[in-house]
């Protein structure tokens, strides 16, 4: 007799799934619903700096993409989507908003990375209606966006664009702003999430922050509140500390996002992946194998009508204190304990603090070159000298070029020089980090016609973003001929995908609450701690020259400011600076 069959067991419900209707709950099963997580206000103690779970910071879209044609692009569709929010742009009619911020927000929406409920509220002194600001925004996106404007998408996107006229220090105008934000919250369902963006001159930062605090717009009630502050963050160490104090009186550090668009560039972001995601480079990334490091930020343009600004800033404040110090810290930092904002920024601050901040007269003369361009040629047309530019003093000693030698005084980098140079009116626009390695301890191939050049790793930040590795190889012919060859990787040809603009990356991260690519208060002050004393030395030299000479343009002043023809790679003194150590600048 055939024994009766035992009925197959019922399939177990998926983990976390609710039991079927009428079924008894299984032992140990998770409840069908969880109590909603409460949002703590900014004023509640012991929550501001508590570590958050990853899922509370990032939301991932889990749809599976079709099989990509290019294998290098496999897995690149994992995207982070923030919650809906209102982006409040102070200085909404300014150049930065039109050229960068509005196109970036539109491209995030076009890429599906910005919820359709999100809104943009422009705030500025100019009287405009919502429709007039939408017209202005459309013209800006049409002209400056890296992606073409799609009419259907724009019509939907524009419904969430608003404008509020007001002065930055007027309490009634900010009370009206509070009412407008509450109205937009109700209309769009943005849940009280607000991102304030200061796209104004730095002189207005304190006024805006104070006004936000007085009206309670800094408080996180229903949703989150964050503020993005553009560079320059102060004009020296003292002013940076004062600005930090003003901001910290209103906002918590976790709410503040000090933006440097260089950190949003793909090659800069990839530097950390290149170093810490590969096992072959990090063991060589130290004083035992690295001879020296060069960091170049070159611009072929002049000051482009910004004479008044540049007379106050110069290359040291405009590029050296922020962009170049950030690049140096990323190259020299130790591996962080986790890929998290504070862990990354802790290591960057340690690098900056390992640079000697004491600039004596002798050290400045030996390790720094300050230059200024004179009339010359840019591409195929003549250009005027810096002193002949609009809004520039005819006796100005402001630097348009800086080259300097720094050392990071820690165990990894002791005795490895870092050579930095930046300038206006150079032959081409190029930014690059070049790590040159030491020669082998014994040159075995002395019978070749020429010794190969030292191994070099170059990370091109702009243009043609990519990575180049130079090494020695034998020429495929009879005999033993050794030459240097290049292995070159470029993002465009490898991934066949347009890289996002830096502002798109940084705006998205700010909405997500990821501060990894933004600078912290102590990081800003550490960078100023290196650059500000050098600027003070220059001011002392200029004051001495002015007292000793009635004509600051006479040859005696050239020892302090080295002139160079527009369209060249800077003053000859910059070449002597590096050649004194038996090295030379890399040709770009």
Q: Which residues are catalytically annotated? A: 323
Tell me how far CA of residue 415 lies from CA of 286, 288, 406, 459, 579, in angstroms: 10, 10, 10, 22, 17
Q: Is 378 exposed, middle or buried (0-12, 13-18, 19+ CB in 10 A)?
A: middle
Cα atoms in the 13 Å half-sphere on the side-chain side of 417 = 17
Q: 456-462 and 368-374 as β-strands: parallel, antiparallel, unpaired?
A: unpaired
Alpha helices in 297-431 (DSSP H): 307-315, 325-332, 341-353, 361-367
310: Cβ contacts below 8 Å, ≥ 6 apart: 303, 318, 392, 398, 400
d(CA 78, CA 65): 9
Is the CB of residue 496 less than 8 Å from the CB of residue 466?
Answer: no
The gap between the terminal CA atoms of the chain, to the nearest Å, is 90
Residue spans of beta strands (DSSP E) within 40-130: 86-90, 119-124
Cα dihedral sign, 259-265-271-273? positive
Q: Maximum CA pair distance of the chain?
A: 122
d(CA 97, CA 146): 15
Report DSSP state, residue 262.
G
d(CA 189, CA 60): 21
């Amino acid at each position: 007799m055939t024994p009766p069959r035992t009925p197959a067991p019922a399939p177990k419900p998926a983990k976390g799934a609710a039991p079927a209707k009428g079924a008894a709950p299984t032992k140990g099963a998770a409840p069908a619903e969880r109590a909603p997580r409460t949002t703590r206000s900014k004023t509640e103690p012991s929550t501001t700096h508590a570590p958050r779970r990853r899922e509370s910071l990032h939301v991932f879209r889990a749809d599976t993409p079709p099989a990509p044609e290019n294998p290098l692009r496999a897995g690149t569709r994992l995207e982070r989507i923030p919650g809906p929010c209102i982006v409040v742009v102070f200085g909404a009619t300014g150049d930065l908003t039109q050229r960068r911020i509005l196109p970036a927000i539109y491209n995030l929406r076009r890429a599906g990375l910005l919820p359709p409920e999100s809104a943009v509220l422009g705030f500025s002194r100019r009287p405009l209606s919502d429709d007039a600001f939408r017209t202005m925004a459309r013209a800006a996106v049409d002209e400056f966006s890296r992606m073409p404007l799609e009419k259907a998408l724009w019509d939907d996107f524009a419904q969430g664009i608003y404008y509020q006229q007001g002065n930055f220090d007027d309490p009634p105008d900010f009370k009206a702003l509070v009412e407008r934000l509450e109205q937009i919250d109700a209309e769009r369902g943005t849940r009280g999430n607000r991102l304030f963006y200061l796209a104004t001159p730095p002189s207005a930062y304190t006024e805006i922050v104070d006004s936000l605090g007085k009206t309670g717009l800094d408080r996180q009630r229903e949703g989150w509140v964050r503020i993005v502050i553009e560079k320059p963050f102060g004009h020296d160490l003292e002013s940076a500390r004062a600005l930090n104090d003003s901001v910290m009186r209103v906002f918590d550090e976790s709410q503040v996002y000090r933006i440097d668009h260089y950190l949003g560039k793909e090659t800069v972001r990839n530097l950390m992946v290149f170093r810490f995601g590969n096992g072959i480079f990090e063991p060589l990334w130290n004083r035992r194998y690295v001879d020296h490091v060069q960091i170049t930020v070159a611009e072929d343009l002049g000051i482009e009508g910004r004479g008044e600004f540049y007379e106050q800033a110069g290359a040291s404040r405009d590029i050296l204190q922020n962009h170049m110090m950030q690049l140096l810290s990323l190259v020299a930092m130790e591996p962080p304990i986790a890929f998290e904002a504070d862990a990354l920024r802790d290591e960057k601050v340690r690098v900056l603090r390992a640079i000697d901040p004491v600039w004596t007269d002798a050290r400045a003369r030996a390790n720094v070159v300050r230059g200024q361009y004179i009339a010359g040629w840019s591409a195929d047309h003549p250009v005027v000298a810096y002193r002949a530019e609009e809004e520039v003093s005819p006796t100005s000693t402001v630097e348009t070029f800086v080259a300097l030698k720094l050392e990071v005084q820690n165990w990894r980098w002791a005795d490895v020089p870092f050579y930095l140079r930046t300038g206006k009116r150079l032959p081409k626009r190029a930014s690059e980090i070049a790590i040159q390695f030491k020669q082998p301890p014994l040159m075995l191939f002395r019978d070749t016609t020429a010794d190969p050049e030292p191994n070099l790793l170059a990370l091109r930040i702009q243009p043609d973003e990519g990575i180049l590795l130079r090494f020695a190889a034998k020429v495929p012919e009879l005999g033993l001929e050794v030459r240097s060859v290049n292995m070159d990787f470029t993002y465009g040809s490898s991934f066949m995908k347009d890289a996002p603009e830096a502002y798109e990356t940084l705006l998205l991260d700010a909405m997500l609450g990821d501060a990894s690519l933004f600078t912290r208060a102590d990081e800003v002050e550490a960078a100023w701690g290196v650059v500000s004393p050098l600027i003070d030395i220059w001011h002392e030299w200029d004051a001495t020259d002015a007292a000793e000479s009635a004509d600051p343009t006479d040859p005696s002043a050239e020892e302090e400011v080295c002139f160079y023809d527009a369209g060249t790679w800077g003053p000859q003194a910059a070449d002597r600076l590096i050649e004194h150590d038996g090295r030379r600048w890399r040709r770009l």
